[in-house]
């Protein structure tokens, strides 16, 4: 019992240290990054947005046209840079001081390589998009190219889960697993595309940072309960980086997360959900729609808006996605953000409870 308690304490330290480290690095890194973003005027040179159907997004432009040229884009650099410094910094520290810091290295082939790869590739592609957006007359990397990259990356990762890690089922809480076989690959692709689409939640100061922090905190707990300590440490480092980002992103935001943040986070989240499913003996995929309920609502509101306009000839919402609709009907942006934060915590707690209960009561 004493040994189990000691092991648990060590595991907690292995998770809390990366979270704290990423937060501190993010706090130190932000003034430097912010200085260069402002010095190089890293914002859209022409305000305005086009709706999903190609028409002018008049309601959005009425509410946000001034915000798009108020603060720089690419604030997501803070998040993934802090995570990378934490991952490789702790690995180097553990290598240099193997006796003093033997447990801090959480860079492992079986738990962190895949989500870290997804985070890096997604973030770099998003960075390219942001760099193109801030050019004079820039519109960013065409959507079809970004979708092709997400498609290709998720295909490779989905194939790896199926062919190399023998993942062929999705666990269902309190029920028998759903067998998909090779169809696990297109399932992962669709899930990745849906999560990438949910990145449009980055639309109001502080909104996306708080929502993603709740989501990754949930998966930190789930991975820890499954004894996937390295994966839990990875998720915790993202939470720490997000909290540092959020410190400077509370309204009025100093910078916006944009694609270099949301693309990497959503793709990494897809991998983490899979890692905490069959591989971890849990239900990481099944609880994702609960933990990430606000991401689901965001995507569905966009889909329904397009359907209503094309099929019924009128709008369902004043603006899509839903958080902008609330602004359009008169809610202050800060009220939308705070209520989304509250809901994100509620949904996160509900998802974690279901995930932990499913671990405790396996189906016979």
Mean of pLDDT values over 39-47: 82
For residue 184, the tally of other CB atoms under 10 A from its CB is: 22
pLDDT at 71: 83
Cβ-based burial of 330 (10 A; exposed 0-12, middle 13-18, buried ≥19): exposed
60 has a pLDDT exceeding 70: no
Who has greater pLDDT, 9 or 184?
184
146 within 8 A of 125, measured Cβ to Cβ = yes
- The Cα–Cα gap between 104 and 233 comes to 9
What is residue 203's predicted lDDT score, i.e. its pLDDT?
82
What does the pLDDT read at residue 59?
63
* Cα distance between residue 199 and residue 218, in whole Å: 18
> What pLDDT, on a 0 to 100 scale, did the predictor assign at position 205?
87
pLDDT at 252 (0 to 100): 83
What contacts 47, CB < 8 A, 6 or more positions away? 61, 65, 66, 68, 69
The mean predicted confidence, pLDDT, of the chain is 90
Give mean pLDDT, residues 253-267: 94
Q: What share of the chain is helix, strand, coil (3-state, %, to 5)?
A: 70, 0, 30
Is pLDDT above 70 for 106? Answer: yes
Q: Which residue has the higher pLDDT, 275 or 204?
A: 275
Question: What pLDDT, on a 0 to 100 scale, did the predictor assign at position 1?
Answer: 39
Percent of the chain with pLDDT over 90: 73
Find the mean pLDDT for residues 20-35: 96
The β-bridge relationship of strands 178-179 and 169-170 is antiparallel
**Measured in whole angstroms, how far is the alpha carbon of residue 224 from the centre of its chain?**
19
Burial group, residue 101, by CB count within 10 angstroms (0-12, 13-18, 19+): middle
Confidence of residue 44 (pLDDT cuts 50, 70, 90): confident
For residue range 70-94, what is the model confidence (pLDDT) as tens digits? 789 999 999 999 999 999 999 999 8
pLDDT digits (tens, 9 = 90+) for 114-151: 999 999 999 999 999 999 999 888 788 999 999 999 99
Over the stretch 178-233, which tens digit does the pLDDT of each residue have?
999 999 999 999 999 999 999 999 888 899 999 999 999 999 999 999 999 999 99
Residue range 146-168: mean pLDDT, rounded: 96
Residue 164: predicted pLDDT: 94
Range of the domain at 337: 2-360
pLDDT above 80: residue 357 = yes
Is this structure's pTM higher than 0.85? yes
Q: What are phi and psi of 131, to 5 degrees?
A: -65, -35
Question: What pLDDT is recorded for position 342?
Answer: 97
First-to-last alpha carbon distance for the chain, in angstroms, is: 28
Q: How confident is the model at residue 100 (pLDDT cuts 50, 70, 90)?
A: confident
Please give the average per-residue pLDDT across 235-256, as a whole number: 93
Confidence bin at 364 (pLDDT 50/70/90): low
Q: What is the mean pLDDT of residues 242-252?
A: 91
**Looking at the 3D structure of the chain, how many domains does it have?**
1
């Amino acid at each position: 019992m004493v040994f189990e308690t000691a092991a648990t304490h060590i595991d907690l330290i292995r998770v809390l240290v990366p979270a704290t480290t990423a937060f501190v690095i993010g706090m130190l890194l932000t003034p430097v990054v912010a200085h260069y973003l402002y010095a190089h005027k890293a914002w859209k040179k022409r305000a305005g947005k086009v709706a999903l159907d190609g028409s002018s997004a008049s309601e959005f432009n009425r509410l946000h046209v001034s915000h798009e040229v108020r603060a720089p884009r690419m604030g997501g650099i803070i998040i993934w840079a802090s995570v990378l410094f934490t991952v490789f910094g702790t690995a180097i520290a553990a290598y240099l001081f193997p006796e003093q810091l033997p447990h801090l290295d959480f860079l492992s082939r079986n738990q962190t390589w895949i989500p870290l790869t997804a985070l890096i590739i997604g973030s770099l592609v998003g960075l390219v998009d942001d760099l193109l957006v801030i050019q004079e007359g820039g519109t960013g990397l065409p959507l079809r190219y970004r979708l092709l990259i997400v498609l290709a990356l998720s295909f490779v990762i989905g194939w790896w889960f199926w062919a190399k890690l023998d993942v062929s089922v999705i666990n269902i809480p309190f029920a028998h697993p759903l067998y998909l076989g090779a169809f696990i690959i297109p399932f992962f692709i669709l899930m990745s595309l849906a999560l990438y689409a949910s990145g449009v939640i980055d639309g109001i100061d502080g909104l996306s940072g708080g929502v993603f922090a709740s989501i990754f905190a949930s998966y930190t707990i789930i991975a820890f309960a499954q004894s996937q300590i390295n994966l839990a440490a990875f998720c915790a480092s993202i939470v720490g980086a997000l909290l540092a980002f959020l410190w400077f992103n509370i309204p009025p935001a100093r910078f916006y997360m944009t694609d270099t943040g949301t693309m990497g986070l959503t793709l990494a989240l897809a991998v983490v959900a899979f890692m905490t499913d069959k591989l971890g003996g849990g239900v990481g995929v099944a609880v994702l729609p609960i933990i990430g309920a606000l991401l689901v609502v965001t995507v569905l509101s966009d889909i329904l808006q397009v359907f209503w306009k094309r099929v019924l000839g009128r709008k369902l919402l004043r603006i899509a996605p839903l958080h902008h609709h609330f602004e359009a009907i008169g809610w202050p942006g800060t009220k939308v953000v705070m209520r989304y934060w509250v809901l994100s915590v509620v949904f996160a707690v509900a998802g974690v409870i279901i995930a932990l209960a499913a671990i405790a009561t396996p189906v016979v």
